[in-house]
């Protein structure tokens, strides 16, 4: 059991970490850390956390495990600010959806003071945000990708993996570069496509939005995701996202070419191939 768990950023993911840790008896004390005391008072009153702190360094002082759950670029800055304050024996991880940046920060800081950091990315969440939508079962059965490198301390791999498993998740490992390309394809590109689809309808036939039914709403659900969080994600993974957009444009160009040629057989063949690929997903 963890003695003191500090969660920096008590939103959907951070709040869900706290709730899952409480439900599973993973931590004796849970500290919620953030900049705005008013925003922290809600999860404190609801029993999501045991106490709160608005000073990040004070909030992680004496923690046995720290989970950074702010936006991805903020997590990098937070890691730098707490590195010298977190006890030497503590575990540190994050829940951001990009990994190259924060792993680079950890490796630079680790050359001066070793600390058990391991990057994590829970493949779970929602287009909604805030502690009010946090769930204690969010990670149950979900995949969490961890991103160890040759510089990662073995106790970080063991401890952070055990944490996520205690919260109900399945843990898989990728190197940071492969992780960021993978999520650019299966997470970041779909979000960009959803935003672009909403934008395209507004440009092409704005009045059509009044008649949007389930198909359009389901396809674009993630376009309602938190803008500040996704701004940071796109900036932190810009090269991989741009590469994925290049592949997306090529796919659209191919379909447009078949339409322009009136190639019924080609269109059906393409759609059948893509249907089979989609149906092959577990």
Binning pLDDT at 50, 70 and 90, where does residue 196 land? very high
Tokens of 216: 């359009």
Rounded-to-integer distance, Cα 203 and Cα 35, Å? 39
Instruction: Please say if the pLDDT value at position 74 is more than 80.
Output: yes
Q: Is 282 a residue whose pLDDT tops 80?
A: no
Q: Residue 127 has what pLDDT?
A: 83
Instruction: Enumerate the CATH 1.10.3660.10 domain ranges in the chain, comma separated.
Output: 178-279
CATH 3.40.50.720 domain locations along the chain: 2-173
DSSP per-residue codes, 14-83: HHHHHHHHHHTT-EEEEEEE-S-HHHHHHHHHTTS-SEEESSHHHHHTT-SEEEE-S-HHHHHHHHHHHT
Answer for the pair 28, 4: CB distance below 8 angstroms, yes or no: yes
Give the pLDDT of residue 94. 98
Which distant-in-sequence residues (6+ apart) come within 8 Å of 77 by Cβ?
Answer: none
Residue 27 bridge partners (DSSP): 2
Euclidean distance between CA atoms 269 and 275, whole angstroms: 10
**What mean pLDDT do residues 188-193 have?**
98
SS3 147: coil
pLDDT band at 161 (very low <50, low <70, confident <90, very high): very high
Look up the CATH number of domain 178-279: 1.10.3660.10
Beta bridge partners of 116: 91
Flag whether pLDDT at 186 surpasses 80: yes
Indicate the pLDDT class of residue 126, thresholds 50, 70 and 90.
Answer: confident
Question: If we measure between CA atoms, which residue out of 81, 114, 121 comes closest to residue 98?
Answer: 121
Q: Left (φ > 0), alpha (ψ -120 to 50) or beta: where does 269 sit?
A: alpha
* pLDDT tens profile 208-267: 999 999 999 999 999 999 999 999 999 999 999 999 999 999 999 999 999 999 999 999
Question: 149 vs 69, 100, 154, 181, CA distance in Å?
Answer: 21, 11, 10, 16
- CA atoms of 65 and 50, how far apart (whole Å): 15
Stretch 71-79: mean pLDDT: 97
3-state secondary structure of 236: helix
DSSP per-residue letters across 70-119: S-HHHHHHHHHHHTTTS-TT-EEEE--S--HHHHHHHHHHHTTS--EE--
Helix (H, G, I), strand (E, B) or coil at 175: coil
At residue 6, the 3 state secondary structure works out as strand
| Structure-block tokens of residue 12 | 């959907």
The structure's pTM equals 0.93
**Mean pLDDT score of the chain:** 96
Mean pLDDT of 191-212: 97
d(CA 191, CA 159): 32
2-173 belongs to CATH 1.10.3720.10: no
């Amino acid at each position: 059991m963890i003695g003191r768990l500090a969660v920096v950023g008590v939103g959907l993911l951070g709040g869900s970490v706290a709730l899952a840790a409480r439900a599973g008896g993973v931590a004796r004390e849970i500290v919620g850390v953030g900049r705005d005391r008013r925003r922290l008072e809600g999860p404190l009153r609801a029993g999501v956390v045991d106490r709160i702190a608005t000073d990040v360094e004070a909030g992680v002082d004496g923690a046995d495990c720290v989970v950074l759950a702010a936006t991805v670029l903020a997590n990098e800055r937070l890691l730098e600010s707490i590195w010298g304050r977190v006890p030497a024996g503590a575990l540190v991880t994050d829940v951001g959806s990009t990994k190259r940046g924060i792993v680079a920060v950890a490796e630079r800081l680790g050359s001066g003071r070793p600390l058990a950091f391991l990057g994590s990315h829970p493949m779970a969440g929602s287009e909604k945000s805030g502690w009010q939508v946090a769930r204690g079962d969010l990670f149950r059965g979900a995949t969490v990708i961890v991103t160890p490198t040759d510089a990662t301390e073995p106790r970080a791999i063991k401890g952070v993996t055990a944490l996520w498993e205690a919260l109900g998740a399945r843990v898989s490992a990728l190197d940071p570069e492969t992780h960021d390309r993978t999520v650019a394809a299966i997470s970041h590109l779909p979000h960009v496509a959803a935003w672009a689809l909403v934008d395209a309808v507004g440009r092409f036939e704005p009045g059509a939005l009044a008649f949007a039914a389930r198909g359009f709403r389901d396809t674009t659900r993630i376009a309602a995701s938190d803008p500040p969080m996704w701004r940071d994600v796109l900036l932190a993974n810009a090269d991989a996202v741009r590469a994925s957009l290049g592949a997306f444009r090529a796919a659209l160009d191919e379909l447009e070419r078949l339409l322009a040629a009136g190639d019924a057989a080609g269109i059906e063949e393409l759609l059948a191939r893509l249907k089979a690929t989609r149906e092959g997903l577990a």
